[in-house]
Amino acid sequence: MSKKLLLKDAHVEGIRYFDTYRRQGGYEALEKALKMAPEEILEEVKASGLRGRGGAGFPTGLKWSFLAKPEGVPRYLVVNADESEPGTFKDRYLMEYIPHALIEGIIISSFCLGAKTAYIYIRGEFAWIPEILEQAIEEARAHGFVGKNIHGTGFDLEIYVQRGAGAYICGEETALLESLEGKRGNPRLKPPFPAVKGLYQSPTVVNNVETIAAVAPILKMGGAEYAKIGLGKSTGTKLISACGNINKPGVYEIEMNITVEEFIYSDEYCGGIPNGKRLKACIPGGSSVPIVPANLLLRTLNGEPRMMTYESLADGGFATGTMMGSGGFIVLDEDQCVVRHTMSLAHFYAHESCGQCTPCREGTPWLYKILKKIEEGHGTMADIDLLWDVQSKIEGNTICPLGDAAAWPVASAIRHFRDEFEWHVLNPELSQRQNYGLAGYAEPIVAPAANS
């Protein structure tokens, strides 16, 4: 049974409210933090090895240490709750059911960073969650944890919830800051980075919900103890949003020392694939990361079991690996059409491009149109090569990573499933592939026992 830090009390009735959260040990980490120097808190976060849980996996303590501290200039903490990545819904779960875990993490982080104002920028489609967060903030305020002179320490903090307008691009940190300032959510050129010139041109730290929520258990147990959980540089626990062709879709908190195979087939997690069907492929980190066929998903290229860690998932680069990303784990069984799924993702990225960069503005709709042409039985072999060429012209040529996010799924789909694209071209009379070929399929190497 995996150790739970963020979701250990998710089953407790009323955990959404302050009194219940407090009875379960909530805000004890904050009380400990308020007795420490900000530098000591930063060292604990560094020692924990915590990496950003929003996608990039950058070391959190290192990111915080970059924060500029000019005299007389305010500093800000901004929580990226614009969880819009298809296949990812873990932050939503945390905010909806255990909001005080986020609020406690915000207060500790703000105290460490010297920020007197914190913002939670939340996805516009989460229409019901801002009220939950605002209620939690007011409960924390009523108990002296938010506002002026928090528990007699002289530390002041205000937390505001800002609703987005439903733009995926605002999940990119600089586009988020632009939107928070009341402007169109277009990404900024970097440098300067937000740590130097962020919100209102002031030093700003932007972290996602899970990252900030993890700060409280780190302070409570100590950074060194937190670092003992997991494997190598993938320390601590990780929330995974599991969906697709699995028996038990949902949000799981894992220790990053289990195999991908165990996560898919164990009854403790996804519970295997319905109706005994074979695993075909998986997108393990949200829609923007490369798709991986089953034979490369379960084993690395050198035959080692692939682990649920940042390093193991990326082993071999994009030729044979993928990314942990945002933790949106999408499983595809043998009946799924890779071309159709790729077309659906391309449609999403074409719609969500802000249009600032020409390769993304022009290239993403082009990818979608070519994929739609192939999927509907009107494609040619030259279209497959054109797809490859267009995605290669987008990757690395845009201000923000949305261009890469659109290109990587197309590139990996062609790299691993080109025969499926060719089948669509050669069988135009069939609108949907049925049980085509065996390339990429795999039975489980070892089916883990329940609750193993």
How confident is the model at residue 445, as a pLDDT?
Answer: 35
165 burial type by CB count under 10 A (0-12 exposed, 13-18 middle, 19+ buried):
exposed
Residues 6 or more apart in contact with residue 140 via CB below 8 angstroms: 18, 27, 100, 103, 104, 107, 146
3-state helix, strand, coil in the chain (%, to 5): 45, 15, 40
Say if residues 142 and 27 touch (Cβ distance below 8 Å): no
How confident is the model at residue 451, as a pLDDT?
Answer: 33
Three-class SS state of 91 = helix
Nearest-angstrom CA–CA distance, 382 and 386? 6
How confident is the model at residue 427, as a pLDDT?
Answer: 87
- First CA to last CA across the chain, in angstroms? 7
Q: Do the strands 279-283 and 76-81 form a parallel or antiparallel pair, or are they unpaired?
A: unpaired
Nearest-angstrom CA–CA distance, 259 and 299? 9
Nearest-angstrom CA–CA distance, 406 and 168? 12
How confident is the model at residue 56, as a pLDDT?
Answer: 82
Local confidence pLDDT in tens for the 452 residues of the chain = 678 999 999 999 999 999 999 999 999 999 999 999 999 999 999 999 999 998 888 999 999 999 999 989 999 999 999 999 999 999 999 999 999 999 999 999 999 999 999 999 999 999 999 999 999 999 999 999 999 999 999 999 999 999 999 899 999 999 999 999 999 999 999 999 999 999 999 999 999 999 999 999 999 999 999 999 999 999 999 999 999 999 999 999 999 999 999 999 999 999 999 999 999 999 999 999 999 999 999 998 888 999 999 999 999 888 899 999 999 999 999 999 999 999 999 999 999 999 999 999 999 999 999 999 999 999 999 999 999 999 999 999 999 999 999 999 999 999 999 999 999 999 887 754 444 443 444 443 332 333 32
| Inter-helix orientation angle 90-97/99-113, to 10° | 100
Q: Which two tokens stand for residue 340?
A: 């159709």
182 burial type by CB count under 10 A (0-12 exposed, 13-18 middle, 19+ buried):
exposed
Q: Which domains does the chain have, with CATH numbers?
A: 18-227 (3.40.50.11540), 230-333 (3.10.20.600), 338-426 (1.20.1440.230)
How confident is the model at residue 1, as a pLDDT?
Answer: 67
| Biggest CA pair distance of the chain | 74
∠ CA(113), CA(26), CA(43), 5° rounding? 35
Q: Nearest-CA neighbor of 117 among 79, 153, 91?
A: 79
DSSP 270-312: T---GGGPPEEEEEBTBTTSPPEEHHHHHB-TTSPBPBSSHHH
Say if residues 169 and 126 touch (Cβ distance below 8 Å): no
Its pTM stands at 0.92
The secondary structure of residue 229, as a DSSP letter, is S
Nearest-angstrom CA–CA distance, 23 and 335? 48
How confident is the model at residue 82, as a pLDDT?
Answer: 96
Helix and strand totals (H; E) in the chain: 19, 11
Element spanning 422, H or E: helix 402-426
∠ CA(76), CA(236), CA(323), 5° rounding? 85
Q: Do the strands 250-255 and 237-244 form a parallel or antiparallel pair, or are they unpaired?
A: antiparallel
Element spanning 22, H or E: helix 18-23
How confident is the model at residue 429, as a pLDDT?
Answer: 78
Q: Nearest-CA neighbor of 301 among 287, 286, 321, 281?
A: 321
Partnered with residue 240 across adjacent β-strands are 252
Nearest-angstrom CA–CA distance, 176 and 155? 27
Q: Do the strands 117-122 and 158-163 form a parallel or antiparallel pair, or are they unpaired?
A: parallel
Q: Do the strands 237-244 and 328-333 form a parallel or antiparallel pair, or are they unpaired?
A: parallel
Nearest-angstrom CA–CA distance, 241 and 251? 5
DSSP 191-224: SSPTTTS-GGGS-EEEEEHHHHHTHHHHHHH-HH
